[in-house]
Amino acid sequence: MEGLLRRLLALAAPCYVANATPVVVAKILKRRHPIDGGRRFVDGRRILGDGKSIEGFVSGVAAGTAVGLVLDRAGVLHAGEALVLSLGTMLGDTLGSFIKRRLGLERGDPAPLLDQLSFLLVALLMYQLVYGGLDALVTTMLIVVTPPIHLLTNYLAYRLGLKDKPW
């Protein structure tokens, strides 16, 4: 039981920190560069939109990996694992926006489950491809607890004035 909780927290921490960091960075850095360079896809809509910046992506990977360095010292996760989880998180978040734009949703529009899970699913997928060893219980628990945690933390970020949408 104690081992399970440690494993859940060790895997979740880099993902959650990587996912949350761009919100803070976007508040501080006013001049950001969209990953898609402002370009449009064949459907005429933005490839990703202004909500996905290079600064946000890089800071997310860096912050998630930094958490991994602390977890590494504590002996609960290797820094490389945190790097893979953080990179997967930001790629998943970016993929989520690509899908939202293809569905015709504007930047910041809510996309239930996609907004809350795309980052985690790609992070776990990449982790499994690189390291393996994710068991069904840990994976299921992360997928179940992440949407409510994401909704709660986004609402708190909204109340703190960090975000202009409560989701």
Q: Which residue ranges make up the site for ligand CTP (CB under 6 A)?
A: 22-23, 26, 32, 49, 51-53, 56-57, 93, 97, 100, 107-109
Q: Which residue is nearest to ligand CTP (CB)?
A: 56
Shortest Cβ distance from residue 21 to ligand CTP (Å)?
9
In angstroms, rounded to a whole number, what is the distance separating the alpha carbons of residues 17 and 63?
7
Contact criterion met (CB below 8 Å) for 107 and 64 = no
Whichever of 22 and 64 has its CB closer to ligand CTP, that residue is: 22
CB of 77 to ligand CTP, least distance (A): 23
CA 61 to chain centre: 9
CA atoms of 55 and 33, how far apart (whole Å): 7
Minimum distance from CB of 6 to ligand CTP (Å)?
A: 28
* 54-73 helix and 79-102 helix, angle to the nearest 10 degrees: 150
In this complex, which beta carbon is closest to ligand CTP, that of residue 44 or of residue 132? 44
Report, in Å, the least distance between residue 133 CB and ligand CTP.
Answer: 28
First and final CA of the chain: distance in angstroms?
Answer: 32
